[in-house]
């Protein structure tokens, strides 16, 4: 039992993390592949984070779920190793490889010991370049994906997210679940998986960061060993999409004691000059902390929920402000009213000078705490690259937060928040609320 959970995964706050003191090197391999590195020799292992931009948004229409299934199969047999052989080889080295995909990226997280680094890299290279897609492995993993999709149909959060995506991004790949659907996944063929591999695993969309016991020179050699023989280019990336959400309520009936509320509207781009002001506003309105306005009004004063939070969600091609909470069915109407009221209050009044100062102190104080080990450091650095930040960003970030003025936040609050545009997706058996349009 944990006392509070941030209601929303805050990878949104876009992990602009980095300790101000952190020393990021940029490394270019002999073959011309670049990566960011923090060399840290205390512990004899290295964490490496690899991203290929595109992810499941590259799925062709009717083939939704191809990139996801392909990614799940990368480790299920490669070269002369079948799934069992590959897993044994990896575990004999005590290396860990995680392959995953989301709407914007294919992600690989690897950790390996210094003592057998070359062997681990060769094995990872084999998986990246020669996945087998054996028919028995395809069917086994397809079964797992389908089980997950069926579970999603009985999961209030998944149901709400699906409705939100469909309303926000009609006609764009973002409207779909990256895992595909119960219609598309059964029809995917090995050819589709090979096409998904060719579309998404290529050097023109590659981002790499490493942290740990490795020199810049060794990392350069490693980069060529891993990536030099990948195809130069992959499939065209999708274009931008403006969220099409409109103000109103969508209710989806689902049995249970609570209703899940997902609410939001258009957001703000990560490279917008007003992004830091927006970050401060989001902390004040819906940060996971107890002093945040929504947490204060809905949990601390009234005990209506275990948690509520909002995020500035930034995808590669769209931005939304989104929040989530769960309340008893009988409290749903009250919660909707309170959320709308707080939305309107910050839209029209902004925040107070005291809130601005307290939030600056929090954000700038919390910043250096994110550097907590090789794994987190590598993740932070690869995310910085994906959102286009320079390697010296950690040295300037707190100054940018501190430069935000009360006038900035008031102006940005009026620009960002629009109570009338809020769309609520409600999954449950809410009392006193009904779908509008």
Partner 1 sequence: MKPFPGLALIAACLLAVPAQAAENVTDFTLDNGLQVVVIEDHRAPVVVQMVWYRVGAADEAPGKSGIAHFLEHLMFKGTDEIGPGEFSSIVEAQGGNDNAFTSWDYTAYFQRVAADRLDLMMKLESDRMSDLRLAEEDVLTERDVILEERNQRTDSNPGALLGEQMRAAQFLNHPYGIPIIGWRHEMEQLSKDDAKDFYRRHYAPNNAVLVVAGDVTPDQVRDMAQRHYGPIPAATDLAPRARVTEPPQLSERRLTLSDPRVSEPYVSRSYLAPERDPGDQKTAAALTILAELLGGNGTTSVLARALQFDQQKAVYAAAFYDGSSVDDTTFNFVVVPTPDTTLPQVEEALDAALTAFLETGPDPEDLARIKTQIRAADIYARDDADGLARRYGEALANGLTIDDVRQWPEILGAVTADDIMAAARLVLDRRKSVTGYLQREEAAQ
Range 343-362, binding partner 1 (CB under 8 A):
358, 361-362
Buried b (16+ CB within 10 A) or exposed e, 31-66: eebebbbbbbeeeebbbbbbbbbbbbbbbeeebbbb
User: Do 52 and 198 touch, CB atoms closer than 8 A?
Assistant: no
Least Cα distance to 425 among 295, 326, 331 occurs for 326
Q: Does 149 bind partner 1 (CB under 8 A)?
A: yes
Q: Does 182 bind partner 1 (CB under 8 A)?
A: no
Among 80, 153, 229, 337, binds partner 1 (CB under 8 A): 153
Q: Alpha-carbon Rg of the chain, whole angstroms? A: 23
CA 384 to chain centre: 13
Binding mask 255-294 for partner 1 (x = CB under 8 A): xxxx------------------------------xxx---
Residues between 369 and 408 with contacts to partner 1, criterion CB under 8 A: 369, 371-375
Among 66, 72, 188, 312, binds partner 1 (CB under 8 A): 72
User: Do 433 and 336 touch, CB atoms closer than 8 A?
Assistant: yes
Buried b (16+ CB within 10 A) or exposed e, 259-290: bbbbbbbbbbebeeebbbbbbbbbbbbbbbbe
From the CB of residue 388, how many other CB atoms can be counted at a distance below 10 Å? 9
Binding mask 305-344 for partner 1 (x = CB under 8 A): xx-------------------xxx----------------
Among 147, 182, 187, 403, binds partner 1 (CB under 8 A): 147
Q: Which stretch binds partner 1 (CB under 8 A): 55-63, 153-161, 198-206, 410-418?
A: 153-161
Q: How far apart are CA 53 and CA 56, in angstroms?
A: 10
Least Cβ distance, residue 108 to partner 1 (angstroms): 14
Q: Does 61 bind partner 1 (CB under 8 A)?
A: no
Q: Which stretch binds partner 1 (CB under 8 A): 52-60, 90-98, 164-172, 429-437?
A: 90-98
Q: Considering the complex, state which of residue 37 and residue 320 has its C-beta at the smaller distance from partner 1.
A: 37
From the CB of residue 312, how many other CB atoms can be counted at a distance below 10 Å? 24
Q: Does 302 bind partner 1 (CB under 8 A)?
A: yes
CA 284 to chain centre: 22
Q: Does 40 bind partner 1 (CB under 8 A)?
A: yes
Q: Considering the complex, state which of residue 177 and residue 319 has its C-beta at the smaller distance from partner 1.
A: 177
Cα-based distances in Å from 311 to 107, 174, 262, 394: 22, 18, 11, 21
Q: Considering the complex, state which of residue 1 and residue 232 has its C-beta at the smaller distance from partner 1.
A: 1
């Amino acid at each position: 039992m944990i006392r509070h959970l941030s209601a929303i995964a805050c990878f949104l706050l876009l992990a602009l993390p980095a300790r101000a003191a952190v020393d990021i090197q940029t490394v270019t391999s002999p073959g011309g592949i670049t990566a960011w590195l923090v060399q840290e020799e205390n512990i004899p292992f290295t964490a490496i984070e690899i991203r290929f931009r595109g992810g499941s948004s590259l799925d062709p229409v009717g083939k939704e779920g191809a990139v996801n299934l392909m990614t799940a199969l990368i480790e299920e047999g490669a070269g002369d190793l079948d799934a069992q052989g590959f897993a044994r080889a990896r575990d004999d080295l005590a290396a860990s490889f995680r392959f995953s995909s989301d709407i914007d990226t294919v992600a690989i997280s690897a950790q390996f010991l210094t003592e057998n680094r070359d062997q681990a890299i060769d094995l990872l290279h084999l998986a990246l370049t020669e996945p087998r897609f054996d028919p028995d492995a395809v069917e086994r993993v397809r079964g797992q994906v389908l089980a997950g999709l069926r579970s999603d149909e009985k999961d209030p959060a998944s149901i709400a997210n699906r409705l939100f995506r469909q309303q926000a991004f009609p006609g764009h790949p973002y409207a779909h679940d990256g895992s595909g659907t119960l219609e598309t996944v059964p029809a995917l063929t090995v050819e589709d998986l090979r096409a998904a591999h060719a579309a998404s695993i290529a050097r023109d969309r590659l981002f790499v960061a490493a942290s740990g016991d490795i020199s810049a020179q060794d990392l350069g050699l490693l980069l060529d060993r891993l990536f030099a023989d990948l195809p130069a280019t992959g499939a065209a990336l999708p274009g931008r999409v403006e969220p099409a959400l409109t103000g109103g309520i969508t209710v989806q009936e689902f049995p249970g004691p609570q209703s899940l509320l997902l609410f939001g509207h258009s957001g703000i781009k990560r490279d917008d000059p007003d992004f830091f002001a927006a970050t401060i506003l989001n902390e004040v309105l819906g940060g996971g902390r107890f002093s945040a306005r929504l947490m204060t009004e809905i949990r601390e004063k009234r005990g209506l929920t275990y948690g509520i939070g909002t995020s500035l969600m930034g995808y590669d091609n769209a931005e939304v402000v989104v929040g989530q909470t769960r309340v008893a069915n009988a409290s749903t109407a009250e919660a909707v009213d309170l959320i709308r009221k707080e939305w309107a209050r910050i839209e029209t009044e902004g925040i107070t000078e005291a809130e601005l100062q307290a939030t600056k102190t929090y954000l700038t104080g919390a910043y250096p705490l994110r550097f907590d080990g090789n794994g987190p450091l590598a993740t932070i650095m690869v995310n910085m690259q994906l959102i286009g930040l320079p390697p010296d960003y950690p040295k300037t970030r707190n100054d940018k937060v501190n430069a935000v003025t009360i006038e900035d936040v008031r102006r940005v609050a009026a620009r960002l928040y629009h109570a009338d545009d809020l769309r609520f997706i409600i999954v449950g058996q809410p009392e006193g609320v009904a779908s509008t349009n």
